[in-house]
Structure 1
Amino acid sequence: MDASSPTAISPKEMRRVVAATTIGTAIEWYDYFLYAAVAGLVFNQVMFSPLTGSLASIVSFASVGLSFLFRPLGAFLAGYYGDRYGRRIVLMVTLFSMGGATTLIGLLPTYETVGLWAPIMLIFLRIIQGVSAGGEWGSAVLLAVEHAPNHKRGLYGAGPQIGVPIGLLMSSGVLAIMDRIAPGDAFFQWGWRVPFLLSFVLVVVGYLVRIGVDESPVFEVIEDNKGHQRPNPIGVLFKQHLPLVFVAALVFAGNGAVGYMTAGGYIQSYATNPEGPISFERSDVLNAVTLSAVTWLIFTLFAGWVSDYIGRRRTYLIGFVVQAIGAGILFPLVDTASLGLLYVALIFLTVGLGLTYGAQSAMYAELYPASIRASGVSVSYAIGSILGGAFAPMIAASLVDATGTTVAVTIYLVAASLIGLTAILLLQERKGIPLSPDFETEQSKSPFVFGK
C-alpha cells in the first residue's frame, strides 16, 4: 500500500472485497437490465396491451427511463449514509431492495388479469429498482477503490464496473435460455417470469459474499476522527463542487446514452419488431447481445487496468473516439438485416463502451475529497444516468417513429459520445492522488484544467 493509504490490506482481504463488489453489482444490474430487456420484448404487449404499435413500445421504454428519475433519491440517501455511517451498510440495503422488487415483478399479474393495476404495480416496483440502483454503485466502487493500493485503483475499481456487463450477460443469457425452454406464446405466458424469480436466489448469494467484507479503510479513519466527518455532506457537495458534479455527470452520460441501446433493451425491441424494417429471431438478437456483453466486460477490465499506466483521462479520450465510431456505424450495420453485421455492430460498440467505463470508479473516487466522496460519486453517477441512459431507448424509439429511419438516432448517439469527450477534456489527470482524509486539502484543489 502507498503512504497515503490508511491501513495495509492483505491480498486475501483485497480479493474478498473485489469479489463482493463485483458479484453484488452483477446481481444488482442483472435485475435492472432484465427489466429493460423484457420491457422491449414482453411488457409492451402484456402490461401496456391497450396501447398499439409503436406507442406501446414508447410507453414501455418510458417505464424503463422513469426509474432513472428516482436514482438521485437513492444517490442522496446512499451518499449521506455512506459518508456518515459507512459504505458497507448501504450495499446490504440496496441488495435486498433491488432483489425484492425484481422477484415481485416476476409474480405480477398482467393487464388482461387485473387491468390498470398491472402497469401501476410494475412502475412502482421499477421505481424501487431505480432508488436501489442509485445507491448501489457509489458505495460499491468506493469500497473497491478505497481498499486498493495506489497503483492498482483502476484495476480493482474495474471490479464493480465489470459487474455491469456481467449483469447484462446474465440477463440476456437467461432470457435466451428461457426463449428455448418456453418458445413462442409460452414465453409471453410464463417464460419471462422465471428470470425475475431467480433474483431471489441471487440475492442470497450476494448476501453471503458481502457479509464478510470489512468497511472501507478510508471511512474507518473518518469514523475514528470525527473532525474529518461532515454533518451535511450533500450540502457541502453542492455548495463547493456543483460544477464538478455536472461535468463528471456528463462524462458518464456520454457513455450511458450509447450503452442503453443494448442495456436498455432498444436494440432487442427494434431488431425483433415484426412490423419494423428488419425482424430477426428473438433468440438470435439475444445471443448477439449476450456475446457483446462479453466484449464489454473484457474491455471494461482492460480500461481499468490500462488506466493505472496511461492515466484515467487518456483512457477516456481513446474510449470516446472509439465509442463515437461504434455509435456511428451501429444502426447502418443493423439496418442491413444481416445477422453477421448485427454481431459486428454490437461487438465493436461494446469495445468503446468498455473503454469509457472501466476507469470510471477510480476517476470518480479521485475527483472528490474523502469527507464527501460517497455523496459526490453517487450523485454524479445518478445525474449522469438521467442525462444519458434514462430515456435513451424512448428517445430512439420516438426518433424512429417520427422520421421513419435510424439516421436521427445515429446523430443522437454520436453527439452523446462527443459530449462525453468534451467533458473529460475539461478535467485534469488525478491518477494516484491520496484518498485518505488526512490529505483533504490536496483533494479539494480544483480538478479542472482551467483551475488553480
Structure 2
Amino acid sequence: MTSTTTLPTELDTPTGNSPARVATASFIGTAIEFYDFYVYATAAALVIGPVFFPQGSSTAQMLSAFITFGIAFLARPLGSALFGHFGDRIGRKSTLVASLLLMGVSTTLIGVLPGYDSIGFWAPLLLCLLRFGQGLGLGGEWGGAALLATENAPPGKRAWFGMFPQLGPSIGFLAANGLFLSLAMLLDDQQFRAWGWRIPFLLSAVLVIVGLYVRLKLEESPVFANAVARQERVKLPLVETLSQHWRPMLLGALAMVVCYALFYISTVFSLSYGVTSLGYSRESFLGMLCFAVLFMALATPLSAWLSDRFGRKPVLLLGCALAILSGFAMQPLLTQGSSVAVTLFLAVELFLMGFTFAPMGALLPELFPTQVRYTGASAAYNLGGIVGASAAPFFAQKLVTIGGLGYVGGYVSVAALISLLAVLCLKETRDRDLSRVH
C-alpha cells in the first residue's frame, strides 16, 4: 500500500526531546551499562579467579576468569536480537529501560554472590548465569542509545550526536577503574578479596536508578514515531535483517573488531599482565589506565567532528591504519621496564580506540532502514565483539606464553586489518536520510 504522507525529516523532533535531554539520556545510560561491564572486566583481571575458581594454579584461575568474561560477549548478539525485536516493534524508549534494568540487576547480584568456598560449584555456575544476563542487557543497550541520539540529531551533526553514547564507555571505565583504584589504596589484599571487590558491583543499583529516572522522561524518537504512524514496522525484524540486510550487518560487525581489540587488549589483558608478569601493583597499573583512558575520551569528540566534516570512511580508514602500526609497539613499550613507556602504550591504544569508536555511533545506524535499524545496528555492534573481544584476553594470555607480547601485538594488528578491509567495502553513509524505508 502506497502512502501519500510526507516523509519526516530529522528536524521533526518532539518538544520533550531537547538536544540536552537526548545527549544526557544517551550518554548516561551507556556510561552506567559500561560501568557495570568494566567492573566485571577489572574484577576478572584481579580477583574473580581466586574467589570463584580457587582450585588449580594462578594461570588456570586467570584463564577461567577470562572465560567467564567472554560469556557476556556470546550473549550480546542474543541481547541485540531480543531487544532489537522489541525496539523495532514497540519503540526505542521502553526497550532501553528494560535493557538497563537487566544489566543493573545482573551486576548487583554478582556483588552478593557467595564464592566457591561457601557454595562450591554453584558459585561459578551462578556467576556464568549472571554474566550471561549482563551480556543480554548490554546487547540491547548500545543500539538503542545510538538510535536515540542519531534519530534526534539535526542534519549534518549525526556523528556529533552519536558521539554521546560513545563517550559512555570512557566515563564508565574511568568510574569503574577509579573505584577499584581507591579500594586498592584503602584496603589490604585480604580485605579486597574478602569483600572489597563487591562494592563496585553493589553501587550499580544506585546508578541504575539515576539512569532510569533520566530515560523515563524521554519521548519516543521522531523517526520511529513517524514510522509507526505510517505502519511501516515489520513483524520479525531479525528475519528481515538477516535476509535483506545481511551484508551491511556483516561489514558493520567486522568494522567494529578494531575497537574491541584495542580496548580489551590494552585494558583487561594488559592489567592482568602488568600485575602478574611486569611486577606492577594493582593501584599503580589502575592509575596508569585511568590516565590513559582520558585520551580515549579526548579522541571521541575529535573523531566525531572529523567524521561529520569529512565522512565516516576517511576517519575510520586512518584510525585502522594507525591501529595496525600500533600492534608493533606493544612488545618494545611494555617490556622496556619504564612506567612512562607502559603509560604511553596504553594512551596510544585507547586514543585509537576512541578515534575508531566515535564514528560507529552514526555509521551503524546509517547502514539500516528505520524498520530494522535497532536490530541491525545492535547485531553489527555485538557480533563484532565476538571476534574482537570475547576471547581476546583469553587468547592473548595463550599467545603470550607461546611467542611473547609480539604475538599479542600481532593480534591487535590483524584485528585492525580486518576492520580496515571491511570499511573499504562500505559506502559512505554521512548523507543518508534516516527516515528512508528501504
Q: What's the TM-score, normalizing by structure 1?
A: 0.93
Deviation at 1:109, TM superposition (A): 1.1
Q: Report the counterpart of residue 40 of structure 1 in structure 2.
A: 45
Deviation at 1:218, TM superposition (A): 0.7
1:256 pairs with 253, 260, 271, which one? 260
Within a 5 Å distance, the mapping from 1:425-440 to structure 2 comes to 425-436=424-435, 439-440=436-437
Q: Report the counterpart of residue 206 of structure 2 in structure 1.
A: 201
The size of the alignment, in residue pairs, is: 432
> What CA distance in whole angstroms lies between the structure 1 residues aligned with 2:369 and 2:11?
15
Q: Report the counterpart of residue 283 of structure 1 in structure 2.
A: 283
Q: Report the counterpart of residue 352 of structure 2 in structure 1.
A: 352
Deviation at 1:352, TM superposition (A): 1.0
Q: Report the counterpart of residue 268 of structure 1 in structure 2.
A: 271
> What CA distance in whole angstroms lies between the structure 1 residues aligned with 2:193 and 2:301?
36
> What CA distance in whole angstroms lies between the structure 1 residues aligned with 2:379 and 2:215?
23
Deviation at 1:255, TM superposition (A): 1.7
Within a 5 Å distance, the mapping from 1:47-446 to structure 2 comes to 47-226=52-231, 228-263=232-267, 265-273=268-276, 276=277, 278-403=278-403, 405-436=404-435, 439-440=436-437, 444=438
Q: What is the SS of the residue equivalent to 2:426?
A: coil
Amino acid at match of 1:159: F
Deviation at 1:184, TM superposition (A): 2.2
Deviation at 1:133, TM superposition (A): 0.8
Amino acid at match of 1:238: L
Deviation at 1:39, TM superposition (A): 0.6
Q: What is the SS of the residue equivalent to 2:195?
A: helix
Question: Given that residues 323 and 351 in structure 1 are in contact (C-alpha distance below 8 angstroms), is that contact kept between their aligned partners in structure 2?
Answer: no
Amino acid at match of 2:12: T
> What CA distance in whole angstroms lies between the structure 1 residues aligned with 2:272 and 2:201?
19
Deviation at 1:332, TM superposition (A): 2.4
Q: Report the counterpart of residue 31 of structure 1 in structure 2.
A: 36
> What CA distance in whole angstroms lies between the structure 1 residues aligned with 2:97 and 2:177?
25
Question: Given that residues 11 and 153 in structure 2 are in contact (C-alpha distance below 8 angstroms), is that contact kept between their aligned partners in structure 1?
Answer: no
Deviation at 1:270, TM superposition (A): 0.6
Summarize the Cα distance change of 1:216–1:152 in structure 2 as closer, same or farther, 3 Å threshold.
same
Deviation at 1:432, TM superposition (A): 2.1
Unmatched 5+ residue regions in structure 2? 1-6
Amino acid at match of 2:173: L
Question: Given that residues 234 and 372 in structure 1 are in contact (C-alpha distance below 8 angstroms), is that contact kept between their aligned partners in structure 2?
Answer: yes
> What CA distance in whole angstroms lies between the structure 2 residues aligned with 1:279 and 1:424?
39
Pairwise CA RMSD of aligned residues? Answer: 1.5
Amino acid at match of 2:246: L
> What CA distance in whole angstroms lies between the structure 2 residues aligned with 1:8 and 1:111?
52
Instruction: List structure 1 segments (4+ residues) > 3 angstroms apart after TM superposition.
Output: 8-12
How big is each residue's C-alpha offset from its partner over 1:385-415, in whole Å with a ceiling of 9 and x where there is no partner? 1111111000101111333x11111111111
> What CA distance in whole angstroms lies between the structure 1 residues aligned with 2:313 and 2:326?
20
How big is each residue's C-alpha offset from its partner over 1:296-323, in whole Å with a ceiling of 9 and x where there is no partner? 1110121112211011111101111222
Q: What's the TM-score, normalizing by structure 2?
A: 0.96
Q: What is the SS of the residue equivalent to 1:261?
A: helix
> What CA distance in whole angstroms lies between the structure 1 residues aligned with 2:370 and 2:118?
51
Equivalent pairs: percent with the same residue?
35
Question: Given that residues 258 and 327 in structure 1 are in contact (C-alpha distance below 8 angstroms), is that contact kept between their aligned partners in structure 2?
Answer: no
Question: Given that residues 6 and 221 in structure 1 are in contact (C-alpha distance below 8 angstroms), is that contact kept between their aligned partners in structure 2?
Answer: no
Amino acid at match of 2:202: L
> What CA distance in whole angstroms lies between the structure 2 residues aligned with 1:260 and 1:411?
14
Deviation at 1:338, TM superposition (A): 1.3
> What CA distance in whole angstroms lies between the structure 1 residues aligned with 2:333 and 2:89?
49
Summarize the Cα distance change of 1:369–1:384 in structure 2 as closer, same or farther, 3 Å threshold.
same
